Every structure is written in structure tokens, then in C-alpha cells.
Structure 1
Amino acid sequence: MEGARDGQGKDQLSVNRCALQPSGAYLAGKSYRPLQLLPQNRNKLPISLIQCLCSRAQESFAGKMAALSGKVQTVLGLLDPALLGRTMTHEHLTMNFECCYVPPPPEDKAVSEAPIEIQNLHWVQQNPYSSYENLLLFQEISAVREELQQYRQAGGGAIVENTTTGIARKLPELKQLAKDTGVHIIAGAGYYVDVTHSDETRKMTVEKLTDIMVSEVLHGADGTDIRCGVLGEIGTSWPITESEKKVLRATAHAQSQLGCPVIIHPGRHPTAPTEVVRILQEAGGDISKTVMSHLDRTIFDHGELLEFAKLGSYLEYDLFGTEMLNYPFNLRIDMPSDSQRVQMLTFLVKEGYEDRILVAHDIHTKNRLTKYGGHGYSHILKNIVPKMLSRGISQNQVDKILIDNPKHWLTFK
């Protein structure tokens, strides 16, 4: 702490008035760091006033943290975890996936640019990332509203919406969807994969990224007062880029301050999830409150899966309903069928990991909505649960996967 004396000998300190709050907490959208001097806009304040301002800011931060403890934070506010019900932990309701457009071969150019209709639906299902229109899920708010109502009627209670900065997160729309349908919606804070990082994001320090994510949870995101209830999905590629590593470290720092849930999008390589866990752990993250997504397209070997499971994260199988012959983001793998996904769940349950399994569909393109002949958000409840029961997973274990595990993960410490 730098100090100075004024002419009368009174203690003075040159500070930025907007830099007086606990690290990571935000008031009026500005980051406050107690008794830290910043070079810009310096004004002299008495130490007694500085200490008073810092004390009030710390009390505000502590108050917000106390309110979050033991609760789930939805787009409509804090919720008793017991009220969540059956939860899909990895979905998208508004998203723009243009970042991952895959140019089709020349002979398919015309069909790739055509509207989605029954004549080309099979082609779109097999090539979902080569149909430009298919990537614009955010255009389908009305259809998503209807499908959430169907999800609610099928026994669904909550959805974790994983759309983050850079892929068209639309919090006001999520809030309205929650009001209209009665589905509890938990919004995601943070950043997706490197290709969606802006130049501004790439230049940010770990500390700045941390502050933004903490603010999105404590005060609201995207210029609204709608607060996120989870960090993620935090995106990583393979190999993990330097910008993504910064975001991972910031995620761990934010999680350590907030005691909040985290969800990760790993790169498409069997060792990617383990590398992500290593980075998070080294930065102080809580792996027991962290979900590793997309394991159904990442780790196929049973031995490797058990080795990863020992690290303690939640194990998410979240591509139910996705079946395609060629997975364009990694042509070396074969996308499993839903029956094979159920087999993996059965294996993990038998190995004692029923307390760490989560499931979802990761709907992020139009063709997976029932409006376009897809399975919709109710597929797991209507079709996969009966399959799980027929393959030896008990109703109690199903309830753990759909109700208890999401509840424990989403509850703030």
C-alpha cells in the first residue's frame, strides 16, 4: 500500500474511488480491490474513509455470498435445491453455432444452403454443421418454448443452459422462457472455445476474466440484472490454447471465491479431460463441483474412463439423441448410439459411480428440435429412462442421475 502525507500531516492515500471492493466482487459494474492503488484517476482520500468504503464493500460481498450458500441460482432468482426436480444439465435454448460451420463438398452446396424441409432432413441430420440455417438455434424461441412445455409435461423440472459469451447468450429470452413454461433455467457464465474469443478477451488477464465471471454470477451478465448460476460451459480445444488456459485458470479462481458449479467442454481427445482437470486443480478449482461434459464422444476405453473417474469430477453423457455416421469434428471416432450410451451408464453404475453421473442432450442445432423431426428436450425422460431401467439400472439410481446429482452439483457451497 502506497501512502502519502499532506501538508497538515494527515494520512492520505491516492486511490481510484472505483477500486474499493473485495477482489472479484462488483458494485455498479466496477471491480473493487481493497486498498489497492491504481494509477488512473487518482484522488486523495483519508485513510479512515477508504477503510470505511472497503468495509462496506466487503460486507456487501459477504452478504451476497451468504444468500447464495445452499441455494441454486436460476434466471428468476434463488431456488431451494429440493424444488429443481429432474434436470438436464447440458442444453442450449438460444445459441448461434456459426463458429463451427463445416463447409460441405461442392456437390452438396445447394442442399446446404436450402431451408430445412422433409426432402433434405436426412442430409441435415447426417451433416448438421454444414447446413448454415441449422446452426441458428436462437431463431427458434417459439419452438423452444413449446418444447419446454412438453418437457415440463413429461416430468422435467430444470435445465442448465450452457450458452456463454460468444455464442449468442440471450438472458432476457431465457428469463421469459422460464416464466412462460415453469421450467427452472440456470444460465451459464464465462467463455466458450478459443475460436469464439474476441480480441478483447484474448488480451484480458486472468484476474480480469475472473472478475467478469464473478460479476456475471453476483450482479448479472450482458448488461442485465439476470444472474448466472453456473460457470460454463467453459470451452477448450485440443490442444488447449493459451487463451483457453487463461479462461480455465480464471474459472478456478472464480469458483474458489463463489463456491459455485462449473461445467467444462473438453477437447476431442481422450486425454483432454484429464489435462483440463490438472489446470483447474493447479489454479485452485474444486473438481468435486465440476462437470466434464461430452464424455460419450471423448473417452471410449473402459480402463481410461475409470482412471479419469477417479479424479472426482461429475461424468456427463450429454449427447443423447445424436447419432451420425461421420462426426466432422473428429472423423477418427465413431459417434456412439443411444444404446451404447446406456451401456456406458450401466458400466459406470456397476463400478460405483452412480453418484457422479449426469445426462443431457446438448441440443444446439435446429434439426434436434421436434419441429424439425428431432427428439427434443424430453427424449431422455420419454425414451432413455425406460431403456436404462430395462438394462438393470434401478429407479433409485435413475433418480440419483436425474434429480440428486444435479441438485448437489448446482447448489452453491
Structure 2
Amino acid sequence: MVHTVLGPVDPAGLGLCDAHDHLFLRSEQLPGQELDDPAAAEAELRAFAALGGGALVQWTPYGMGRRIPDLIALSRATGVHLVAATGLHQAAHYPPGRLRGLDLAALFTAELTGPAGPSGPGGPGRAGLIKVAGGYHGLDAHARRTLTAAAEAHRATGAPIAVHHELGTAAGDVLDLLCDRLGVPPRRVLLGHLNRFPDLRMQREAAASGAYLVLDGPSRAHHATDHHLLDTLVALTEAGHGGQLLLGGDTTTAAARGNPGPAYLLSGLRPRLVRALGERAADGILRANPARAFAW
């Protein structure tokens, strides 16, 4: 099943999916740019749903303003399936001392098997994936600690592990640690942001591992490689990796909200995908692939 904030959903019913986005986000690195407006989030979800959008996966991890009760309310109000994340981002996104003493594997596992955040004991709000992060062209001690905890939580639950790659780098380091050393099956790993480092050879090597590639954009917060996105999707599909590709908007700042927003995946990108690859391939990237990737 795909584990949404309202409960388990048959993957076949997930619908067209924004596989990586943020309705709510707070970071020490982005002061004054908090995503914390439920009304604005609802407007984006309603615009997405009006175009046929069925699901949105929020990659905001523990301690970064996930607002689980608001996700629950928004899913009920709009009918859009929402998947929440447990896990941790890079250490720089947290106040000093915030993470000291945490048993990360126990925390991640608890949020995958029961409510995440203050949604009430026994109620809805369960996390549906583990979000962690690498560093720029490598892994620091914090990244190794969180990836190791994510692998332990995966072994306890089967949940997928979604990885932020800083400027699209260090995919090889992440796969080496998670899959080769810690035994996580590559098909349970989602590699985010690889289009931000538009090295097609690297992207093909990452896809050859069997992992999913989650390509994000366009978003005003992350626009540098928007012009490569369609070419990247076409090249990877033609290389035989169409079944491993997912798309998300990844809006991370208040200034970028609505610019262009989740609806653009369906109003702008989907028609171009259909023209370039055909209806079946476009539907696979936006519907069938996320249904497999997020089910556990």
C-alpha cells in the first residue's frame, strides 16, 4: 500500500502524482521563507486536483515544519492523497543541538508505523517514506549517520528511502553506502535532484543500479536546469530507464510558491511529455512509476 496521512491507499488509486514537493517547510537556512500558509497550500492542491492530480508526496522531514495536522485537514478538504516523510535533512537545516541524543532509527521507524508529529495517538498522520540527504560530492558524518538509520528503519518496515542530493551530486556515494554496504535494495531508493547536475553519464549509471530517479522542477527556487529537464527525461527513457523516472515540483520557499506550482506538472510538462514520448510513457512517469515507488 501507499501510506498516506489519511491511511493506506491501494497504489492503483494513487492517480497522477507530484512525487516530490513541499506544502510546508521551515529551515534555519531559509529565514523568512517559511512555507507555513495552509490557505495557500490548499489553493495549490485544488489547482492540481482540477487538472486531474491525485497525489502529492511531501519530502519535508522531521523537525522542519511538516505540519502533519494541516496535511491531514488538507487531504480531507481537497481529496488529494498526501504522503508525509520522516527522516532528516542536512544538519545545517536544524538549530544547534536540536538533533543531539536522538535515536534516529527508532524515531524513523516509529513515525512509519504510527502517527508522525502531533496528530494524536492512534490517529491518522503516519509517514509514508524516509527522507535523508547527502552532501556536495560526498557524505559527511551527519549524512552517514542518517543514511544508516534510514537503512535500519527500512529493514524494519520496508519503507522507501528518498535522498536529497546536493546540487545533484554524490549519487554514487549514496548508492554505495545504502545498497552495497547496508543492503537496501536499489528499487527501494529514490534519488532526488539528479537533473541539477546534468551529467547524463552519471544519471545513466545511477539508473543502471535499479534506483528511481526523481527529477524536480520547474520551480522558481530551483530553476537552473529547467531547460534540461525534458531532454533528460527523453534521454533516460530512450536508454531504457523510463520505468524508474518520477517528477516533482519541489517548491521550497514562500517566494517560489505558485511559481509555477504543482499544477504545472500537468498543465505544462505533461503535454510536452506526451508529444515527446507518447501518452503511455507520460502516464508511466506521472502515475505508474510513483505507484510502485511509494508502495510498501
Residues 305 and 180 of structure 1, relative CA distance in 2, 3 Å threshold:
same
Shift of 1:389: 2.3
The structure number with the bigger radius of gyration is: 1
Q: Does 1:188 align with 2:117?
A: no
Structure 2, unaligned runs of 5 or more:
none
Could you say what secondary structure the match of 2:20 adopts?
A: strand
Q: Distance in 2 between matches of 1:324 and 1:157?
A: 24
| Residue matched to 1:88 | 18
Q: Distance in 1 between matches of 2:99 and 2:219?
A: 33
Q: Distance in 2 between matches of 1:75 and 1:86?
A: 17
Dislocated runs of 4+, deviation >3 Å: 321-325
Structure 1, unaligned runs of 5 or more:
1-70, 102-131, 326-334
Shift of 1:151: 0.5
2:35 pairs, out of 116, 137, 154, with: 137
Q: Distance in 1 between matches of 2:70 and 2:118?
A: 14
CA contact (8 A) 1:189 1:230 kept: yes
Could you say what secondary structure the match of 1:353 adopts?
A: helix
Q: Distance in 1 between matches of 2:168 and 2:24?
A: 27
Say which structure, 1 or 2, has more relative contact order (CA 8 Å, 6+ apart).
2
Look up the equivalent residue of 1:382 and give its one-letter code. S
CA contact (8 A) 1:137 1:364 kept: yes
| Residue matched to 2:130 | 231
| Residue matched to 1:146 | 43
| Residue matched to 1:287 | 186
| Residue matched to 1:219 | 114
Aligned residue runs from structure 1 range 3-402, under 5 A: 71-97=1-27, 99-101=28-30, 132-133=31-32, 135-138=33-36, 140-197=37-94, 199=97, 201-204=99-102, 208-224=103-119, 225=123, 226-232=125-131, 234-238=132-136, 239-268=138-167, 270=169, 272-281=170-179, 282-298=181-197, 300-322=198-220, 335-337=224-226, 339-370=227-258, 374-390=259-275, 392-402=276-286
Identity %: 26
Q: Distance in 2 between matches of 1:302 and 1:183?
A: 34
Shift of 1:200: 5.3
Could you say what secondary structure the match of 2:166 adopts?
A: coil
Q: Distance in 2 between matches of 1:366 and 1:269?
A: 22
Look up the equivalent residue of 2:130 and give its one-letter code. L
CA contact (8 A) 1:255 1:286 kept: no
- TM-score, normalisation: structure 2: 0.92
Q: Deviations over 1:16-60 (max 9, x none)?
A: xxxxxxxxxxxxxxxxxxxxxxxxxxxxxxxxxxxxxxxxxxxxx
- TM-score, normalisation: structure 1: 0.67
The root-mean-square deviation of aligned C-alpha atoms, in Å, is 1.7
Aligned length: 289
Q: Distance in 2 between matches of 1:264 and 1:219?
A: 22
Could you say what secondary structure the match of 2:127 adopts?
A: coil
Look up the equivalent residue of 1:245 and give its one-letter code. R
CA contact (8 A) 2:168 2:194 kept: no
Q: Does 1:405 align with 2:294?
A: no
Q: Deviations over 1:200-229 (max 9, x none)?
A: 52444xxx2111111001111224342101
